[in-house]
Amino acid sequence: MDRCPYCANPVPPGATHCPACGSALVAPAHNLAQGTRLNRGRYTLGKVLGQGGFGITYLGADTQTRRPVAIKELFPEGSTRRASQVIPPTSLLGGGFSETMQRFEEEARTLARFDHPGIVKVFDVFEENGTAYMVMEFLRGQTLGKRIEQRGKLEPGEAEAVALKLADALEAVHGAGLLHRDIKPDNVFLTDDGRVVLIDFGSARQFALGKTMNHTRLVTPGYAPLEQYGTAGKFGPYTDIYALGATLYHALTGLTPPAATDRIQNNLAVRLPPATPDGLEHAVNRALEIRVGARPQTVAEFRALLTGRARPAPAPAPANGGLVVQVTPDNAQVELEGPNLLAQYLLDLGAAWNGYYNAKTPDGKPATPVLTAP
């Protein structure tokens, strides 16, 4: 049985709308016919490989190189087609669809920069039929999400091998100054020849370590850390590392990880199977720390935990469960009483706590707390 591309719930054969979320599903009539030629005849389309909220992916052939390719057509939900021309939905009329096309083409240019076995290769991008197309390598195999759905959780050794290959790919992404921002089992492809490939870079963004950045809010519950629930914050490799840990948790347990917001509100712990190797367990547990500062800060740190070259340092915890902050005007250290996790939750969301507690400097004078990142 197929699954809804928007909510992942089962969809009966022939359904035009998802019975769970009500989303309209792309009708077969909206697909370009097999045999359609694109880009002055260079590419020929075959069957549909998949469809989602923003596009349709076809099996294709490059007539110049004589190799199979995957061709992704930008076709946002709600679009229609007049002959071969894509008519965007009313929600994207005006400049909306042009901006969507620019982001789509930016994704292609981003991927074209890489030549790494763990990152999907992009060969071409072009505009036609009122929309844009991305030509990628055709990967034979299945996503990690589909693998778990069909065969259940991975054996620890298999999960460890996936973790190492994903870490290598992610290190290359971060080395280029980018964050993937949407690592999850459905965006990890396991090829028949043993590659582990990161796909779908539509949410990738540049980052400047230590600087507050404005990003579009992107949250995949279960895989997104708390800092992604806001539109501005200090994002870094640790943001993707949380999602990597959540993906490995899913692979090891067969269960979707709880959302970061649920974990902190309900004090939920993540538990791995007893057979999980020590290094893998340490790496995943540290990657899934709610507090940014308690996670591995780089992929190299994550890999060191994974391979057993580094033992996990205990997460720093202020005395009495409080959160140490800087105060003004005396710049003295004080402790704020209260649940540390809740304090960190509000901190990560950029909440202003000034005056919330009756903080005092060491000499007993009132002080205004100024929260700083851990």
Q: Which residues are catalytic?
A: 182
The dihedrals phi and psi of 189, each to the nearest 5 degrees, come to -110, 130
How far from chain centre, in Å, is Cα 214? Answer: 17
**Dihedral of CA 295/298/301/303: which sign?**
positive
Where do we find the tokens 């791995």? Answer: 272
CA torsion angle for 189, 305, 324, 292 (degrees, to 10)? -10
141-143 β-sheet, strand order? 141-143, 188-191, 196-198
Note whether 226 and 233 are within 8 A (CB).
no
Q: Which residues of 6-27 are buried (b: 16+ CB within 10 A; e: fewer)?
A: beeeebeeeeeebeeeebebbe
- Bridge partner residues of 134 (DSSP): 72, 125
Residue 46 dihedral angles phi and psi, to the nearest 5°: -115, -140
Contact (Cβ atoms closer than 8 angstroms) between residue 32 and residue 84: yes
Q: Which backbone phi and psi does 281 adopt, to 5 degrees?
A: -65, -45
The distance of Cα 215 from the centroid of its chain, to the nearest Å, equals 13
Output the CA torsion 90→91→97→99 (10° steps). 160
- Residue 290 is given by DSSP the state S
